Structure 1
Amino acid sequence: MMQKNKIIALSKSLYTRGIQCPKSLWLKKYKKEVLTPPDATALARFETGNVVGDLACGLFPDGKEVVYTPDDFTGMVETTEKLLDEGFEHIYEATFLYDGILVLVDILKVTPNGVEIYEVKSSTSVKDIYLHDVSIQHYVLKELGYSVVGSYVVHIDSSYVRGEALDLDGLFKIIDVSEEVDALELGIQKKLEEFKAYLSDDEPNIDIGAHCNTPYECDAKEYCWRVQRGIPDYSIFNIFNLGSKKQLELYTQGIVKIEDILDDFAMTAIQKQKVQNYKSQSTYVDKESIKSFLERLTYPIYHLDFETFQQAIPEWRGISPYQQIPFQYSLHIEHSEGRLEHCEYLAQDGKDPRYELAKSLVSDIPKDATVLAYNMSFEKGVISKLAESFSELKEHLLSINENMRDLMSPFQKKHYIAPKMQGSYSIKYVLPALVPKMLEAYKSLDGIQNGSEAMNAFAKLSLMSEDEKEKTRTALLEYCKLDTLAMVEILKKLRAEIEKESSL
């Protein structure tokens, strides 16, 4: 069928961007320099999406791909028409254009009764925004005269566990979303008219709100929040458990700074306490609770931190999609007199790292030792998975979990609150508030300065030259070592608060 109008004004990604916020759509079209570029984590997510999309084509074999050519979409449209004329049952990246709207269908299935649309996602569930994505494809094909007899989302099944070989039927779920898409398609014309009106006018004056973070954090958020409205890094939007309704109430009153909140504004006791602490720039310390926490720790204390990575498509037996796979740990062993020992493990790339890491861990940590982690639920989860996988190490691994304590606890329970923590108990905020010198130590690291960078670096080790690999391995070890040293310093700060009280 001849596809109408060769001028491209809108794609399915632009359409879904507009669904989240029409201002974001306008900025992407006319002022993209204000958008925050994707970071390494986002780029890795895009790459994962491409790999998953390619693999899902195996569910629909013997198809033909329309090669992605961003400077020749017209050619892609023509190739699609040619493949349809030639009678291919499955077409990957089938490209259609109608009234300035360009859509690429991940997998198009041609049946005797009409065509089916399959949208492939690397997530583990069907999100509402995916339905909008499929609906604009449905709309374009229908307007071009195709009979769309089914709409589907193909996504990863997180319950899948890999055996010796990869089973595509087990890895993926195919969800029929035809009914939902049909309902959304009825409102598309109105949406398109709305977007056209926005795009033919000046920059929209759309206020900030929940849509800035849902379903994704918008890449225009920095521009809309910081540049245009001057929202500070720590604002009413950071107050612990202050719901969006209360935030909106303050925001509509013109209040965004913590110091501008009136004393009689209705909040919980903890929220009021945090606001007052911030206003006075004072630190609140519940010394009795912290003392109780410290008394439950026995020496030597094993400060533990894992680095992990995830695979949408599991490479090794016994692993599920997006399972946290540990490849590294750092262990600072703190003795009663203050002496520190350091142990570490970093797996070799290109093979399943779990067993050798687990063996090293049980060698380094005795069964009855006090183990300290920051946000221990993560470390416990990793160790529990290792125990499930390696029965001969299970008893020892689970004993490590039984003796684990959480350094996050005093901060999460609000026993220690400092203004510089900005209402958070994440180590990202706690560390610079309690031990500012450590922030400079992280900044001085070469190449890897956070967990996301560590995860991405290890995942790419096998693609590196030997020189690059050696340099990256050194950077990984230095980063992870600093993480457990940071825990030692935080604990030292908590002890100092109690000792200060005792000396008075």
Structure 2
Amino acid sequence: MFFSKSRYTRGAQCAKSLWLNTYNKDVLNSSNKSTKTDIGNKVGELACNLFPNGVKMEFEGSSFDEKCEQTRKLLENNQEVIYEATFCYDGILIMIDILQNTKDGLIINEVKSSTSLKDVYIDDCALQYYVLSNLNYKIKQVNLIHLNNEYYRSDFLDINQLFKINDITKEVLLNQNQVKENLKYFEEILSKKEEPDIDIGTHCFDPYECDGYEYCWIKQRNLCEKENVFNIPKFKKSFEFYYQNTYNFEDLDDLSIFTKNQQIQIKASLNKEIYINKENIKKFLDTLTYPIYHLDFETFMQAIPEYKGIRPYMQIPFQYSLHIDHKDKLEHKEFLSECGIDPRYEFAKNLINDIPKDVCVLSYNASFEKGVIRNLALAFPEFSEHLLNIEKNIKDLMIPFQNKDYYHYKMQGSYSIKKVLPALIPDMEQAYNDLDLIHNGSEAMQSFEAMQNMDENERKAYRQALLEYCKLDTLAMVKILKHLEELVK
């Protein structure tokens, strides 16, 4: 079995993850992996246009050994650019996204779909350098190419502005001894049939959340059975407590090191209590005026911007739900774009038609909606005054829960609406479970992007599912607000 770049970077993050990937792959969670791979492939293919007239290695119907031989012959024949150039040394297989063959040596170009240069990419490129140098190739330079998140597309896509090219040759050279040490360590780990006893730690999330998280944290360490310090938001000493074996709330004997809000969470959990600060909740409610416009957006992102005024991974709104509470009656309005087009203009136009100026707008985690509206105002100056008026008047329903003015022990430290809602209004959780096709924002985003490839009947079904899901989100906000109002009466 070949040892690949992805297995090397996996091992660099955690050798136990590498062992599981080799001998017990079934315990790893591979969800969303195909989506990320598809995005990476699209970005990689587009980046090839930065270096035109290359030859691409085609892998269907050929073995890796044949591709290595084909690459070698192309270099001997002075082919200047090769895409997916393939090399193997000592069982290590690498495929270089874009290889330049110059008279002064080879230039390695690794392409990533992220918008920044990360240390893990240097590990990746260092392995490529290690293989080529041991095959006695002269290497002139190593480049890391990634997306430029400051680039806004105009009428046409400018790939020279879309991508940033970073020379990381020095960093890669400094990493060569580490590559040797890592490979030796990985060989030792993989030579054993017993699973390595490597404890959980910050490496579980750095640089990526490990796909063995559930296996190591839940099945092996039982960290879901009782609420513990890992459930405390922004608590930086979680592992310090864990390594001292005092991480469950019931094991804590001194709460003075915790903030007031953290103590509220711990005490509520231990005593199965609900903490309510009616005075602060009332102060929040006094900032609201009826009618209240409960607003929720659904968005998607594009790594490669297809529309004018879009930058990589910018939130593109395609749907909103609006429940208007007049106190004596409830009204609902909504918008859902057609798929396969830029939805922003129609979205913005409908939004300002449905929300008048100077009314009270309520969102949950309002910074998201505010950011989307500000981007719309920049894109469409004719709507900007009205849009910015809406943005200015948005209040955040999350505040009482974020500030622990209302805290239910079932929230387990979270103030996301998906935790708050079942704690306050259990019946609403069942309403989400009863939905057929779409149950959360991630599914909504993925479904909207996939709809353009569906047949008419399937597309209609998903449109209806999107409308039902988003409508339920704003109805949930209405019910949460009513619950808070009842508390302070």
Shorter-chain TM band: over 0.9
| 1:94 pairs with 2:85 | yes
Q: Which residue of 2 aligns with 1:254?
A: 245
Cα displacement (A) at 1:270: 2.2
Q: How many residues align?
A: 487
Are the counterparts in 1 of residues 298 and 441 from structure 2 also a CA contact under 8 Å? yes
Partner of 1:502: none
Of residues 351, 357, 365 in structure 1, which corresponds to 2:341? 351
Question: 1:463-500 deviations in whole A, cap 9, x for unaligned?
Answer: 1111111111111111111111111111111112112x
Aligned partners of 1:127 and 1:69: how far apart in 2? 32
Are residues 194 and 265 of structure 1, via their aligned partners in 2, closer, same or farther at CA, if it must alter by over 3 Å? farther
CA RMSD of aligned residues (A): 1.3
Q: Residue 419 of structure 2 corresponds to which residue in structure 1?
A: 429
Q: Does 1:227 align with 2:219?
A: yes
C-alpha deviation, 1:85, in angstroms:
2.7
Q: Distance in 2 between matches of 1:68 and 1:129?
A: 26
Contact 2:264 2:404 (8 Å CA) reproduced: no
Secondary structure (helix, strand or coil) at the match of 1:187 reads helix
Alignment TM-score, normalising by the size of structure 2: 0.97
Q: Counterparts of 1:78 and 1:434 in 2: how far apart (Å)?
A: 64
TM-superposed CA distance for 1:446, in Å, is 1.2
Q: Which runs of 4+ in 1 moved over 4 A?
A: none
Q: Quote the offset at 1:429 in angstroms.
A: 1.1
Q: Which has the larger displacement, 234-243 or 408-417? A: 234-243
Cα distance, 1:264–1:380 mapped onto 2, change above 3 Å: closer
In structure 2, the CA distance between the partners of 1:71 and 1:278, relative to structure 1 (3 Å rule), is farther
Aligned equivalent of 1:282, options 243, 250, 273: 273
2:136 is equivalent to residue 145 of structure 1: yes
Please, what TM-score do these two structures have when normalized by structure 1? Answer: 0.94
> For 2:55, which of 59, 64, 83 is the aligned residue?
64
Alignment counterpart, residue 163 of structure 1, candidates 140, 145, 154? 154
Are 1:94 and 1:104, in contact at CA under 8 Å, matched by a contact in 2? yes
Match of 1:16 among 9, 14, 22: 9
Answer whether contact 1:92 1:106 (CA < 8 A) is retained.
yes
Corresponding position of 2:447 = 457
Q: Is 2:212 the counterpart of 1:212?
A: no
User: Does 2:75 correspond to 1:84?
Assistant: yes
Q: Equivalents in 2 of 1:125, 1:13: separation in Å?
A: 19
Q: Does 1:176 align with 2:167?
A: yes
Q: Which residue matches 1:199?
A: 190
- In the alignment, the residues of structure 1 paired with residue 413 and residue 19 of structure 2 have an alpha-carbon distance, to the nearest angstrom, of 34
- Percent same amino acid at aligned positions? 52
The equivalences for 1:268-347 within 5 A come to 268-337=259-328, 339-347=329-337
Determine which of 16, 29, 34 is the counterpart of 2:27. Answer: 34
- Aligned residue among 445, 452, 476 for 2:466: 476
Given that 1:231 and 1:256 are in contact with CA atoms closer than 8 Å, whether structure 2 keeps it comes out as: no
Cα distance in 2, alignment partners of residues 180 and 369 from structure 1:
55
Following superposition, the deviation at residue 277 of structure 1 comes to: 1.1
The Cα offsets for residues 341-368 of structure 1, whole Å up to 9 and x where unpaired, read as 1100000112111011100000000101
Q: In the aligned structure 2, how far is the partner of 1:357 from the partner of 1:312?
A: 21
- Partner letter of residue 16 of structure 1? T
Partner residue of 2:406 out of 398, 401, 416: 416
Distance 1:307 1:264, change over 3 A: closer
User: SS of the counterpart of 1:215?
Assistant: coil
Gaps of 5+ in 2: none
Contact 1:232–1:257 at 8 Å: present in 2 too?
Answer: no
1:139-158 C-alpha deviation (Å, 9 max, x unpaired)? 00000011111011100000
Any unmatched runs of 5+ in structure 1? 1-7, 500-504
Letter in 1 for 2:18: L
1:467 correspondence with 2:457: yes
